[in-house]
Every structure is written in C-alpha cells, then in structure tokens.
Structure 1
Amino acid sequence: MTTHSSEPLAVGLVGAGRMGSFHAETLARRLPDARLAAVADPVPGVARRLADRLDCPIALTDIDELLADPGIGAVVVSTPARTHADLVVAAARAGKAVYCEKPMATTLPDADRAIDAARTAGVPLQVGFNRRYDAGFRAAHDGIAAGDIGTPQLLRSLTRDPGLADPAPIPPWTIFLETLIHDFDTLRYLNPGAAPVEVSAMADALVRPDFKDRGLLDTAVVTIRFDNGAIAVAEASFQAVYGYDVRGEVFGSGGMFTMGDVRRTHLTRYGPPGVTADCATYDQDLFRDAYVAELADFVDSVRTGRTPAVTGEDARAALAVALAAIRSVGTGAPARVDGAE
C-alpha cells in the first residue's frame, strides 16, 4: 500500500481512552503529513468530546462505520487488548493500514490471524512498542548492532509503574501481556539477530496481596535465555512510589550500555531538604517524543510503501515470550518459547 498524494494521510482513531487521546492529539497537531479524520469509540459521548476538542469532523460510536469510510486510509487501534486482533483483521480487510497498540493479540492464533489479514490485504501493520523510538534505546540498539560493545552477554529491562488503583477491570496476566510485553520486545531489540528460546518466571501479588484471588499479579521477574547464549532479565512492579521507571542495560564482551531514566528532566535540585530530582509519574511524560516518533514512522511507511520498523511479527515474538512466562509461573518450571528450536 502506497499513497503518493501530497495531501496529509487521513487517519481514523479507534478507541478514545488515555492512550488513544494522546495519539489523536499527535495526528491532529503534531504530524504535518497526517490528519485526524475520524474518532470512533463505542462508549456514548467519548468520541464526540475528543473530536470536538481537536476539531475533528467525525465522531462515531460504530467502529464499523469508520472502517467503511473510503476517505480514511489508515487507522490507529487503541482499545482494550482483548479487542486488538479482531480490529486489526477488520481494518486490514477494509483496506486500511493499521497501527495497533500493544499487545497486538493475546493468543498466538489471534496474532497469526492479524498478520495474515494485513499480508493478504497488502497493508502496513505496525505495533506500538515505543521504546524502539526512544533516542537512548535506539542509540543502544544501533551501537550493539555495530559491535560497539562486542557480543551481548547479560541484558536487563524493567518497567515499574507509579501506583496500583483498584484493579477490578484489569484482566489476569496483565503484568505479562500488557506491561512486560514492552520489556520482552526491548530485549529482542537490544540483542539483534538473536531469538529467545527459554523462559523462567516468578510472579506474585506483593503490592496488594488481597487482589491475588482476582488473578492480579503485580510483581514479576522473568529470566530469558537467547539462542546466542545471552541471558536476560525482565522485571516489573505496579508500585514505584518515586515515579514511572523504565530502564535497560546490555553488558557485552567489549563494554556496556545503560539507558532510561526516572527523571522528567536532567535538572537536579540542591537545597535544605537535600538533593532531589523531578521524577516522571506518567508514561506520556517519559516517552512523549517516542510516542510521536512511532506514529510519524507509521505515517511515513503508509505514504512510502516501506515495511514499518515494528511489525506484526515483532509483536508475535514478544507475545510468545509473554505466554511462555505465564506457563512458567503456572508450572514453576522453565518453559520453551513457542517456535524456538
């Protein structure tokens, strides 16, 4: 799919929640090569409020109506994870290029359906792994690929969210499928050319033990073995009281890269209370530029016809690690990653 028009790419947003609203603002105000053409959300009034705020002409509760609009060339899917695969399939069959928030699917058969639908329709499919667009993580990847620190041997990636509210609407295994899925993709990205083969995982409800009977695990550590011999650790917590914390580290035979920071800026205050820093408490503060860059990349891939930098196959590979981690927690033993030799 290639669009040669000099006009901005008309993009429809599906899902007007927290992340969808940020993407809508990016399409409406931050990308000159794109325009927000329509917003759809099944909750009455939600799409209209967002569309009005951004001067978008079309607000819908019927997602199928947005997909049927011939004037829309691409869609951004930012709905609950369980709906992603079906929406990717529907959008691809409607001939729309698709940007889908992570995870693209929660089962491997659904991931395969989404990938096959986009391939059959000949439309780009990109998935929202934002760390690949962060300047520090991207520079580390490029340096590792160039051999700057030799062969990767030990890797680490972590995600710590600032707080845990009542998790009633949070489905089981969220910590693997929606949080650590970022770290699994990041570890693949930082170990280019290697594939994860085996996973050992531990997880528990340490922040809110009273929520464990609902199936919510809020703390997890996952060890991953790659086929090039590298060993990686991914960890997550749903309660970092100091702020939103995302970091990575790659130790190689010839050196080490570290990346990520909890600070909103590099400003450090020195005063009577001591030395303090301004920590980010929101992912859209820490990864604002990366979120914009990933949508800019998506729009460019649609307009030029090139393959997106983050594909459906990348999403499937990260999901395979997440599902192996879930199996490992369930059995208390290491689990092979689906597709590993």
Structure 2
Amino acid sequence: MTYVHQPAAENRPVRLGLIGAGWIGAFHAESVAHRLPNARLDAVADPALAAAEALAGRLGVARITADPADVINDPEIDAVLIASPVRFHSGLIAAAARAGKDVFCEKPGGRTVEELDEALAAADAAGVNVQFGFNRRFAADFAAARKLIDDGAVGTPQLMRSLTRDPGTAAGIASPERIAPGTIFLETLIHDFDTLNWLNPGAVPLKVHAVADALVAPEAKAGGLLDTAVVTVTYSNGAIAVAEANFNALYGYDVRGEVFGSAGMVAAGGPQASSAVSYTAAGIASDTVRLNIDLFHDAYTAELARFVDGVAARCAGGAAVGTPAPGGVDARNALAVALAAVRSHETGVPVEVSAVARLRPAEPGLERTGQHAGPGA
C-alpha cells in the first residue's frame, strides 16, 4: 500500500518520527524537543520497546512502537529520523520514501553501494528529500575552512588530512566484542572520507590504500576488530589525502581536518573544549571534550535544523524544494571510499574506487534531493 504525504498546514511545527532510540537517536530526539522550536517529535520506534518507552517518557512523546513501519506509514508524520543500526538504513530510507516522507538518516546510508542506490532511487521516484548525518559539515570551524577553500585561500589542494581519535575509556575500548568488523571504515572513518571529499570540491576519489590493526585491543582482533587505521586517498585533481582513526585517545575526543595547497593552508578542529589554557607550576593545560555529542553538539543541532527547514519548505510547497547537502551523491561517494578501504585492508594492496562504484562530485543541483550517480553514471 502507498501512503501519500499531505502538505503541512502553515505555522505548525514539522512533525517528526524517530526510528532508533539508542545513543545518537536519543540525542537527536532531545535536539528536536529542546532546541528546534519549529519541530516536534511525535513518535518513537525501536524494536527494543523499553528504550523507546524510556526516551518517550523523558521527552513527553505520546506514541511509541516496536515497529518502524508504524511511524513510516503514519499520515500525521511529516518526516522520519533514522538512527537505527546500519544494516537497516537503506531499507528504511526506501520504505519512508515510498510513504512520501522526507528522511534524515545517520551515516552510512547502506552497507553496499548497491543497496544505497536502491534506496536513493526510491527517494528520487517519490520526490522526497534525503539528508545524511555528516555532522562535521555543520561545525563552525569546518564550515569556515570550506568557505576559505571556496574563496581560494589554499589554491589547488595538494595535501589533505582528516583524523578521528575516539577517547574510548580510561581502560581501553568499551565492549570491543560488540564492535562489528569494518566499523572503523564504515562508521568512524566514513566521516573523514566525507570531510575530505567535501573539502576538495569538484574532485572525486580515485584510489584508496588502507592499513589497519587492533593495537588498542589486540585480544579482540580474532573477532574482526580493527581499532587503528590509516588510509590514503588520491583524488582526480592530484590531491593526496590521509585519513586516520584510533579508538582510544586518552586525552579526549580529537577530530581535525587540514588542507594544504598551492596558495596556502586551512585547518579545523581539535580536542580542546575551549581556547582557554592554564599555565601553572604543573605545566600548561586545557580542558578536552570526551563525547561526540559534546564536541559536535552545535553541529548535530544545526544539521537537524537545516533538515527541518527543508521539510517545512517541501510541506508548504508540496514538492522537494531545497533540502541541502549532504545528500545522496555525498553519501554514495563516502561509502564507496569506505568500501574500497575495507577491500584494500583485506587484500593488502591499493584499490581503485571505480572497482567499487563510478562516482561524480556532488553538484548543488543534485544535493537538494536523493539524486545520485547510479552504476552507469
């Protein structure tokens, strides 16, 4: 059965349904409830019903369900937020699109390019907006770096760097046995891959070489855990990029980006909670951030605010009219790099990205919807 979304009436909040009441889903729900006055969380779905009940209870949400289809097919819901485990992302995007719902989906958009393509094709056919959760684009310092690049501050990019160092726990990685094989590429470094793609506008990644190991929790390596990785990516404009990740930065949550080019360099990010530094007999010290939702608190909120604005515009006009990037092309390009990194690690040799998928750079005209570069693009 196909459910047709009805345009929202003017001057009422955008009504959202959340799928996935885990860590990041709960934070997004709190953003909607407390930080986005033009949006309202109307329903929470999670197969773990107790998690949905607890979250809904804290936020005063009346409707809870164990079945995501109840939220997707609810004609009172304007759009859905997908924060489920990765294996469900592409299927939920497609289901929401068929129901006429705009979609915000956490990264990655799928486990393979093929399943992501199917989801994006469903979004294109339905004319709905799909935005993906690459939050660094919405961090003030990273956004400023991109503007400097657009203004010519670095000239032609030549060397690039992006890193993610997760603080883990004081004793190491929390529950390493629960980290699925490939996580470091598909769920951690995929942020870095998107950042590098975004900070190198007009170029596409061509070749990937990945080296990874379990250095923090070597006892978990037999189960497929990789907790440390370095990936080199070469681009169509000649730029050479390095992405690195580690799951146990004891000094704090450390995310940085850097672009060096023919005319200069820009840099963004770092682990410091503020620019305040103490100079005492004990040495020089600065507070650091320990959680992603603290480091990117404003960025997480800003990406949802932009999504809600796009939903409101589409509802008012009855058509997709401007949800911004990161959209389908961006999600597909980042996923292709991540999958090439997985393959490179497994084979020990560099991998051509074209062996995973044929890509094209994101273009402003494509970023507003789920439109994407399909297999023959």
Shorter-chain TM-score tier:
over 0.9
Task: State the Cα RMSD in Å.
Answer: 1.3
Q: Which residue of 2 aligns with 1:134?
A: 139
**TM-score normalized by structure 2?**
0.88
Pick aligned residue for 2:325 from 288, 309, 312? 309
Structure 1 CA distance for aligned equivalents of residues 104 and 225 of structure 2 = 28
Structure 1 CA distance for aligned equivalents of residues 306 and 224 of structure 2 = 37
Bigger drift between 171-180 and 264-273 goes to 264-273
SS of equivalent residue, structure 1 residue 25:
helix
Structure 1 CA distance for aligned equivalents of residues 344 and 188 of structure 2 = 17
Do the aligned residues in 2 keep the contact of 1:297 with 1:309 (CA within 8 Å)?
no
Whether 2:199 is the aligned partner of 1:156: answer no
Matching residue's letter, 2:63: I
Whether 2:261 is the aligned partner of 1:242: answer no
SS of equivalent residue, structure 2 residue 121:
helix
Matching residue's letter, 1:291: Y
Do the aligned residues in 1 keep the contact of 2:176 with 2:217 (CA within 8 Å)?
no
Q: Which residue of 2 aligns with 1:228?
A: 237
Q: Which residue of 1 aligns with 2:364?
A: none
**TM-score normalized by structure 1?**
0.97
Structure 1 CA distance for aligned equivalents of residues 175 and 43 of structure 2 = 32
The answer for unaligned runs of 5 or more in structure 2 is 314-320, 361-377
SS of equivalent residue, structure 1 residue 263:
coil
Structure 1 CA distance for aligned equivalents of residues 339 and 138 of structure 2 = 25
User: Shift in Å at residue 237 of structure 1?
Assistant: 0.4
Q: Which residue of 2 aligns with 1:327?
A: 343
More strand by share: 1
Structure 2 CA distance for aligned equivalents of residues 51 and 166 of structure 1 = 27
The answer for unaligned runs of 5 or more in structure 1 is none
Structure 1 CA distance for aligned equivalents of residues 339 and 68 of structure 2 = 29
Whether 2:220 is the aligned partner of 1:211: answer yes
The 4+ residue runs of structure 1 with deviation greater than 4 A are: 1-4
Superposition pairs for residues 256-267 of structure 1, below 5 Å?
A: 256-267=265-276
Pick aligned residue for 2:61 from 56, 62, 65? 56
Structure 1 CA distance for aligned equivalents of residues 146 and 342 of structure 2 = 27
* Residue-by-residue CA offset, 1:155-187 (whole Å, 9 max, x unaligned): 000000001112222211000000000000000
Q: How many residues align?
A: 341
Do the aligned residues in 2 keep the contact of 1:27 with 1:35 (CA within 8 Å)?
yes
Whether 2:358 is the aligned partner of 1:339: answer yes
CA distance 1:285–1:165, shift in 2 (3 Å)? same
Q: Which residue of 2 aligns with 1:7?
A: 12
Matching residue's letter, 2:197: R
User: Shift in Å at residue 3 of structure 1?
Assistant: 4.8
Q: What percent of counterpart residues are identical? A: 55
Structure 2 CA distance for aligned equivalents of residues 189 and 4 of structure 1 = 35
SS of equivalent residue, structure 2 residue 178:
coil
SS of equivalent residue, structure 1 residue 45:
helix
Do the aligned residues in 2 keep the contact of 1:153 with 1:231 (CA within 8 Å)?
yes
Q: Which residue of 2 aligns with 1:166?
A: 175
Do the aligned residues in 2 keep the contact of 1:3 with 1:302 (CA within 8 Å)?
no
SS of equivalent residue, structure 1 residue 168:
helix
Q: Which residue of 1 aligns with 2:296?
A: 287
Q: Which residue of 2 aligns with 1:182?
A: 191
